[in-house]
Structure 1
Amino acid sequence: MNLPESVGNRIRELRKAKGWTQEQLAEAAGLHYSYIGGVERGDRNISLETLEKIINGFQVPAEEIFKFNEESEYKRALDEHITLISGKSADEIASLTKINKEILNTIEKLQKSSD
């Protein structure tokens, strides 16, 4: 697979993990939806400026666009969580982390008590 196809596939994965249509991503990035379709298919040789618009539209770290070798349900679930918290404040992320820790601790306790 070539780089434009890999990046395009990754953009599609992130868009779907966010639950967005191509139109929604295009609006967030300030691009036309048909252009997004071409990028996702690897048909477009996009500039760094356009890639930056897409990254800013997603509100994810730039390196997320280049994580395309980890195809798994685990990776997809992790991507979904990253997109859910992207754009949140540090305080909101800290609160969500605390809640997640409490949930995981409760699950562990329940599993230990059922053994």
Structure 2
Amino acid sequence: MTNLVHRLGERIRLLRRESNLSQEQLGELAGLHTNYIGQVERGEKNVTVESLEKIAAGLRVSMEELFRYIDPMKREDDLAKIHALLSSRSNQDKAMVLKMIRSVFDWEASKYK
């Protein structure tokens, strides 16, 4: 299979693991066979758009999110690292981090007034 198929499979595996789902659980949520999920993650299957839509729904992400960061020209930047760290955290944790970031920006802005 192509490098794109492998990168997409790796992305699906990453999102599945971030969601703390097994291949079996994702298969159930997506309405796809567990073996098929494994083949997609390993880049052994050239997955259809319909199956990608089911997988995205099972992962509770948009199609845009599913394809994010698979382009080799776009290296993972700091924002992507922050997103990856926060993706599996509770809403309370996310709100706390947002509050801390705003505090840092407010403090920084006050230095230059």
Aligned CA distance change for structure 1 residues 78 and 48 (closer, same or farther; 3 Å): same
Aligned CA distance change for structure 1 residues 44 and 76 (closer, same or farther; 3 Å): farther
Aligned CA distance change for structure 1 residues 38 and 76 (closer, same or farther; 3 Å): farther
Counterpart code for 1:42: G
Which residue in 1 is equivalent to 2:97?
Answer: 100
Looking at structure 2, the residues matched to 44 and 15 of structure 1 have their Cα atoms a distance apart, in angstroms, of 17
Residue 17 (1) aligns with residue 18 (2): yes
Identical aligned pairs, as a percentage? Answer: 36
The answer as to whether partners of 1:8 and 1:42 remain within 8 angstroms in 2 is yes
Aligned Cα root-mean-square deviation (Å): 3.0
Aligned CA distance change for structure 1 residues 18 and 30 (closer, same or farther; 3 Å): same
Segments of structure 1 that go 5 or more residues without pairing to the other structure are 86-92, 110-115
Aligned CA distance change for structure 1 residues 39 and 62 (closer, same or farther; 3 Å): same
Q: What is the deviation of 1:59? A: 1.3
Q: Segments of 4+ in structure 1 off by > 2 A?
A: 68-77, 79-85, 95-106
Aligned CA distance change for structure 1 residues 21 and 74 (closer, same or farther; 3 Å): farther
Residue 27 (1) aligns with residue 28 (2): yes
Looking at structure 1, the residues matched to 96 and 77 of structure 2 have their Cα atoms a distance apart, in angstroms, of 25
The answer as to whether partners of 1:60 and 1:83 remain within 8 angstroms in 2 is no
Which residue in 2 is equivalent to 1:4?
Answer: 5
66-75 or 48-57: which moved more?
Answer: 66-75
**Of Structure 1 and Structure 2, which has the larger fraction of its residues in helix?**
1
The answer as to whether partners of 1:17 and 1:83 remain within 8 angstroms in 2 is yes
Q: Which structure 2 residues correspond to residues 61-80 of structure 1 after superposition, within 5 A?
A: 61-66=62-67, 67-68=69-70, 69=72, 70=75, 75=80, 78-79=83-84
Which residue in 1 is equivalent to 2:110?
Answer: none
